[in-house]
Amino acid sequence: MARESFDKEIQFLRMLVLTSGAYNRQQYADRLGISIHTFDKTIKRLKEIVNAVHQQLPEEQSKEFAETIRYSYLESSDPMLLFLFRAKSLKETESQRFSLLLAAMHEKPLTAMELLDLCCGSMPAELSLPDEKTIRGDLKYLEQVGVIKKEPGTRPFRYRIYNDFVRELSYDELLDLYDFIDIMANTQVPSVQGYLLRDGLKKHIARGQAEYNQIDPFLYKYHYYSRILDEAHLFTLLGAIRNRRSISFLYFSPKKETSYAAKNTNPLFERDTEGMQETTLPLKVVYDHQYGRWYLLGNHARHGIKKYRLEGITQISEEESVAEAFYEAKKTELEQRTAHSWLIDTGKPVTVRVRFFHPGHGIHNFVRERVLLQGQWGAIVEESDDSFVYEIEVNGTIEIKPWIRSFGSSCEVLAPMRLRQEMIAEWKEIKAYYESV
């Protein structure tokens, strides 16, 4: 898989969703830091992926890629990142080889040499033939991910498809399992592996039922594409955290005019990029449910604790590992700095006091329930018949402000005075939008 190309296509999909096709080709290319020629090749490749994924649709129902995202809501509810995983997670030769191996082992257990002979006799003429080392590496990988199982016995070992779990379930149990996976993949993070499991189970159910025509009972519409797109980086970062390894990457701040730059491979055509080359020790990954964003918190050699939005990270590579004592010390420092963070803010602690008003007599008090549910470690310190006062100590007020604002006229900021003045100014600005024309 070409990591650079994967980054480029992720940024391309993100812009296509956010702008709904409002940019022309030149604006897209400028924003991505690529040429128009590269832009055309990218969108052609993405259209090919979509056509391959939806090849079962009648021709009259097929849509152009941009139109699918802009207008077909139910079809665009399928996360765009899955197109990239299906098309680019394996090389073409690996895809062909794995298909042959799994099909052969589905019939009966086979040895590595038997599988080698089968591959050499069945691989397309335009693809290179594998050797014994390649086949054994494939079998080791498939065994590690739980697709196949080594049969007990002496050498030479035989391998078979490992699908015991789904084979023991009845048709109704398989449908219940499918519905559960579908709900969890659409409501929990991370999700990509859940979608791949869901699609695999759906194909298994369809194979076992000649008249299978199951309609999905749940339909989801995605509003936060960054949540899914940025999962491409998630497991790389989690692996670096687990192994205490520093990482290096090219970072594009959300304030930058470009969000991607082609990797320079020829020094004659090297050009400056607007991204920053960063090296940091990743300590924690945080997901913001309110905005659908992923954040990386790490330790920078010069600047200490630093925060990055995953949507701006490209070209990740792992560096040297650090001592366990050093890593634990930096992790403890991060926990202390974010102990009072509403999300990831590391500013100075401030006490916020907000008066919330009850919705009215005889009306279910949904305001109080929501504050108790979402208010984290804050507490209700005063309460009367018509209102209650909520108090919390947080690192700065930037992250808690949207939450307070979402209550509208059901709340009033009491302290600190600076936050109160900011809220007054914002509501005056909103009021001005609705003045009579």
Q: Where are the domains of the chain?
A: 3-78, 92-162, 166-221, 226-262+272-336, 349-433
Nearest alpha carbon to residue 17 among 91, 62, 81: 81
362: left (phi over 0), alpha (psi -120 to 50) or beta: left
Spell 203-232 as b/e; 16+ CB within 10 A means b. ebbeeeeeeeeeeeeeeeebeebbbbbbbb
Give 45-98 pLDDT, tens digit per residue.
777 766 655 554 444 444 455 555 544 444 455 666 776 776 656 566 777 888
Q: How confident is the model at residue 382 (pLDDT cuts 50, 70, 90)?
A: very high
Mean pLDDT of 402-424: 95
- Rounded-to-integer distance, Cα 320 and Cα 61, Å: 51
Q: What is the pLDDT confidence band of residue 388, given thresholds at 50, 70 and 90?
A: very high
This prediction has a pTM of 0.77
How confident is the model at residue 74, as a pLDDT? 45
The C-alpha atoms of residue 60 and residue 217 are separated, in whole angstroms, by 25
CATH topology of domain 226-262+272-336: SH3 type barrels. (2.30.30)
Q: Which fold has domain 349-433?
A: Alpha-Beta Plaits (3.30.70)
| pLDDT tens, residue by residue, 243-267 | 999 999 999 888 776 777 766 554 4
* CATH placement of domain 92-162: 1.10.10.10
Got the DSSP string for 60-101?
GG---HHHHHHH-TTGGGS-THHHHHHHHSS-HHHHHHHHHH
Would you give the DSSP letter of residue 59? G
- Averaged pLDDT for residues 385-411: 94
Determine contact, residues 159/148, Cβ cutoff 8 Å: yes
Out of 72-76, 178-182, 202-206, least confident range: 72-76
Residue 375: band (very low, low, confident or very high) from pLDDT cuts 50, 70, 90: very high
Burial of 32 (0-12, 13-18, 19+ CB in 10 A): buried
